[in-house]
Amino acid sequence: MSLTTLATDIQKDIQVTLTVNGQYLEISSSNGSNETTTTRLELDFIYGVREKDKQVAIDIVECQQEQQENGSQQSTSIANFRDIGKTTWKRRTIVFDKLSTPDFATRLRQRVLPDIQPHQHVVAIINPAAGSGQALSQWNDTVKPMLVAAGYDTETMSITETKPNEQTRILVEQLGVKMMSQNANTTFIILGGDGTVHEVVNGLSDAYDRRANWPSLPTFKLGIIPSGSGNALSLSLQLQSIEHATLRIIKQKTQPLRLVDVQLPIEQKRKLRIMVVMSWGFHAQLVSKARYLKPFVDNRRFSWVAMWLLYFLQHYAGELTMNHVQRYNKENKKFDDIQDEIIVSDEKFTYFAVTKQASLERGFTITPFASPASEDMDVILMRNASKDQLQSATVKAIQGGKHVDEEDCVEYYKAKELSLKVHDATDICLDGEISSVPANSIVRLKIVGPSEGEPDFQTFV
On whether residue 126 sits in a domain, the answer given is yes
Residues 286 and 394 in one domain: yes
Residues 371 and 411 in one domain: yes
On whether residue 72 sits in a domain, the answer given is no
Residues 319 and 441 in one domain: yes
Mean pLDDT rounded to a whole number for the chain: 91
On whether residue 73 sits in a domain, the answer given is no
Average pLDDT over residues 358-371: 93
On whether residue 456 sits in a domain, the answer given is no
Residues 106 and 126 in one domain: no
On whether residue 80 sits in a domain, the answer given is no
Q: Is 90 exposed, middle or buried (0-12, 13-18, 19+ CB in 10 A)?
A: exposed
Residues 312 and 401 in one domain: yes
Closest CA to 58 of 89, 28, 31, 96: 96
Beta strands in 305-409 (DSSP E): 316-329, 334-335, 339-355, 359-361, 364-365, 377-383
Residues 96 and 224 in one domain: no
Residues 171 and 220 in one domain: yes
On whether residue 452 sits in a domain, the answer given is no
Residues 398 and 443 in one domain: yes
Residues 310 and 425 in one domain: yes
Q: What does pTM read for this prediction?
A: 0.92
pLDDT score of 251 = 97
H/E stretch holding 26 reads strand 24-30
The residue range of the domain holding 137 is 121-252
Condensed to tens digits (0 to 9), the pLDDT of residues 33-58 reads 778 999 999 999 999 999 988 899 99
On whether residue 74 sits in a domain, the answer given is no
Alpha-carbon distance of 386 to 392, in angstroms, equals 10
Residues 328 and 434 in one domain: yes
Convert 171-208 to b/e letters by CB count within 10 Å (16 or more is b): bbbebbbebbeeeeebbbbbbbbbbbbbbbbbbbbbbb
How far apart, in Å, are the Cα atoms of 73 and each of 80, 230, 434? 12, 26, 38
Condensed to tens digits (0 to 9), the pLDDT of residues 133-173 reads 999 999 999 999 999 999 999 999 999 999 988 899 999 99
Residues 170 and 97 in one domain: no
Closest CA to 421 of 356, 351, 346, 355: 346
Residues 435 and 310 in one domain: yes
Count up the domains in the chain and report the number. Answer: 3
Cβ neighbours around 212 below 10 Å, total: 7
How far apart, in Å, are the Cα atoms of 382 and each of 305, 353, 413? 19, 10, 12
